[in-house]
Structure 1
């Protein structure tokens, strides 16, 4: 970290320092109301935005990083780039000292452009294209994950200096937004054969990783996963393999009370199962935790139709744009008028459509909104996780055209 304070370090970071960053005050307002007030000022200003845009509150990222260090002091965060690869977001986290979880060559390149050292990157994709793995070898990203014997042979062929993290399947949390165990992670009976496969090939297994699922709210699942990781450590020791030195507890964290609960469980489990291995480096792969609440979307009403008591509105972002999170990430949209709702104001059952010609592009139905007009704005909170990262150019409406404005609150 550079600069006199974390916020100063972020403002001076590559990817941030050459961009306009708006300052705004929280004062007595709630965070979300303060951002809405900033957006009102932006759209009212001459030459202000006239189409959908995001606001990234960099101070929120700083606050979240401080909260992580306070609650999980022994766990270095490696931000999951896939969650939101916005350059300013990556730059802020790099300035704060975070590492990065990258899953492809493009993600690795994006992080390296910010001056991040290869040793602060984990190539956390258990199944990698040969060309991407060869690129990792060229630039010195020497840590990756695996959960299949075939991947060991690939690493030996394409990147023989690379060390491995054995990705194990975490216990079923039952309530994760996205259950990654359906696709990745070794079953308990596969751990020993996978360790032996690496031993035969002469590839070092540096540690163990797991992921309890994205957006998991049951904190106790971390205890079971850490216990299983210790069992894998012990299995490697019994085989006479070099001592493992890294435990990757993955992601799935959400900011708020559930994070505090998860952190308490993790800290107790680390003490119980790894307290006798003080040399083990513990890392995590938070994505949603940092990105979700730091971004706010403002979308403009571009069309309206009245059918009796029903109101139908079209906005200039939708399910093929950053609001793809409704389908892909189980996001529950709760749009609110930027102008605010007056006390006692009548509301109507409303449908909000995205801009494309596909009827699937429907944001909400039967949602109570006050009477709105073309040119008004709707605000969507907590729009940073798996939003712009997964958008498309369908029907000629490009997600990349939705500008991201930088701000920081005090």
Structure 2
């Protein structure tokens, strides 16, 4: 079980400490065995600055579904972003931070009626649609809503295609839906699209913006006064990635098709903000060596199977649902270690629980750690404790400059941060084996013989180094 009263605040790092050194310190604490995350709040802040500098006209509305961590939402709320919510639970997560409902777009084109009622009750008026039935629901439940028509424009390359589920055809369907909205007296205020999560074709944004212009023009003939363009998501956020090409295409397309500054332009970035902020550390708890045939010579080759304490039912669900490619990085490489073809497996009893199929790794031993970068997007929100394996704890850190920037920005305050002996503070809440409790020490244990105490042992905590 876990030590109670965990300290979930942001730990402020001194000038000689960074996120990797904190990860190393936790590993070497001698008491940590479960998988865990390090979240660098500074990385999220830097991403926000990059987004605003790259596309100054576009107001980001963070996609809550990507990572709904309270710390992430608080940080982005403090930075002034809006939020893209897909359910009443996500709406509540944002509203409890003190965010004004006007900063939320309910960007789910097919909403349960109870969720529409909740949006109406909480003042979240901006929402999307792409079908007739949604308009009839809005007419009956929330006629004062401000609707945004979502069109389909798919990137040829994307981690997750969304057009197969959402988005009306901009030519054959959108005009009919706008005609219906006008006849029902529903106020449609703009156009949205989503080219696909993790877009790999920047040019698709120009096609989508051009198509949106046509719909703006048609809506004007019906008497609508469109004032919103929602560029959706699709912005890469992994280490070493860049949104410069996408930003350049978007900026030029806005100049060409939407030069009027009265049109409010928003976007729904998710992975861009959080992917690289999270690093996952996993412990190798079991090893199996097998012989496999060389695909060329047919000769047997040594293949090592490493079993770690997180898998596809936990953080690595991103392999199944987000089509992510993960790279295992040994935290420590032993001198002279030989490299072998290796696979990495999760802890459950499911044979499909494979994290990495075939990768060259140095020979490691039980107790060694593997690090996985770029694990902040579409991981923790979907993770489950299947087979009884816990969801990894997150240790949140920030450097002193980030602390100075955020500590007085609502909803954050100085109470959200821990300053001082950061490494000792981070050890609060480290995992201990299931079934153990931590007694108050020192305690005295008597050794008896024949009813008489012949010896006493005094137990107390002592500070030790790494057990490796």
Q: Same fold (TM over 0.5)?
A: yes
The Cα shift of 1:327 comes to: 1.5
1:301, 1:373 within 8 Å by CA — same for their partners in 2? yes
Could you tell me which runs of 5 or more consecutive residues in structure 1 were left unpaired when the two chains were aligned. 1-16, 28-33
| One of 322, 328, 343 as aligned partner of 1:351 | 343
Residues in 2 aligned to 1:155 and 1:107: alpha-carbon distance in whole angstroms: 20
Residues in 1 aligned to 2:338 and 2:126: alpha-carbon distance in whole angstroms: 58
The Cα shift of 1:398 comes to: 4.0
Residues in 1 aligned to 2:333 and 2:381: alpha-carbon distance in whole angstroms: 29
The question of 1:38 aligning with 2:22 is answered yes
The question of 1:106 aligning with 2:89 is answered yes
Match of 2:327 in 1: 334
Match of 1:247 in 2: 229
Q: Give 1 or 2: higher strand fraction.
A: 2
Structure 1 residues 42 and 292: alpha-carbon distance in aligned structure 2, compared to 1, 3 A threshold: same
The question of 1:393 aligning with 2:375 is answered no
Q: What does the per-residue CA deviation read over 1:35-67, in whole Å, with 9 as the maximum and x for residues that have no partner? A: 4332111221365x3211111100000100000
The Cα shift of 1:69 comes to: 0.7
Structure 1 residues 53 and 24: alpha-carbon distance in aligned structure 2, compared to 1, 3 A threshold: farther
Asked which structure has the greater RCO (Cα within 8 Å, sep 6+), the reply is: 2
Q: Secondary structure at the match of 1:136?
A: helix
Q: CA RMSD in A?
A: 1.7
The Cα shift of 1:365 comes to: 2.4
The question of 1:262 aligning with 2:255 is answered no
1:24, 1:408 within 8 Å by CA — same for their partners in 2? no
The Cα shift of 1:190 comes to: 0.6
2:10, 2:398 within 8 Å by CA — same for their partners in 1? no
Q: Report the more deviating stretch, 329-338 or 75-84.
A: 329-338
| One of 223, 229, 233 as aligned partner of 2:216 | 233
The Cα shift of 1:173 comes to: 1.6
1:24, 1:407 within 8 Å by CA — same for their partners in 2? no
Match of 1:408 in 2: 398
Structure 1 residues 18 and 50: alpha-carbon distance in aligned structure 2, compared to 1, 3 A threshold: closer
Residues in 1 aligned to 2:20 and 2:103: alpha-carbon distance in whole angstroms: 36
Q: Give 1 or 2: higher helix fraction.
A: 1
Could you tell me which runs of 5 or more consecutive residues in structure 2 were left unpaired when the two chains were aligned. 1-6, 292-301, 402-468
Match of 1:31 in 2: none
The Cα shift of 1:389 comes to: 1.4
Q: What does the per-residue CA deviation read over 1:234-260, in whole Å, with 9 as the maximum and x for residues that have no partner? A: 01001122x111110000001355411
2:147, 2:189 within 8 Å by CA — same for their partners in 1? yes
Q: Secondary structure at the match of 2:199?
A: coil
Q: What does the per-residue CA deviation read over 1:333-371, in whole Å, with 9 as the maximum and x for residues that have no partner? A: 2101111465x6311221211010001001112321112
| One of 122, 141, 165 as aligned partner of 1:183 | 165
The question of 1:201 aligning with 2:184 is answered yes
The question of 1:141 aligning with 2:133 is answered no
Q: Secondary structure at the match of 2:197?
A: coil
2:333, 2:362 within 8 Å by CA — same for their partners in 1? no
The question of 1:369 aligning with 2:366 is answered no
Match of 2:404 in 1: none
Instruction: Provide TM-score, normalisation by structure 2.
Output: 0.78
Q: Secondary structure at the match of 1:185?
A: coil
Instruction: Provide TM-score, normalisation by structure 1.
Output: 0.89
Match of 1:10 in 2: none
1:36, 1:338 within 8 Å by CA — same for their partners in 2? no
Residues in 2 aligned to 1:366 and 1:77: alpha-carbon distance in whole angstroms: 38
2:19, 2:397 within 8 Å by CA — same for their partners in 1? no
The Cα shift of 1:143 comes to: 0.5
| One of 298, 306, 310 as aligned partner of 1:317 | 310
1:249, 1:284 within 8 Å by CA — same for their partners in 2? yes
Match of 1:382 in 2: 374
Residues in 1 aligned to 2:320 and 2:16: alpha-carbon distance in whole angstroms: 32
| Higher Cα Rg, which structure | 2
Residues in 1 aligned to 2:309 and 2:379: alpha-carbon distance in whole angstroms: 15
| One of 120, 130, 141 as aligned partner of 2:113 | 130
**Aligned length in residues:** 381
Q: Report the more deviating stretch, 262-271 or 107-116.
A: 107-116
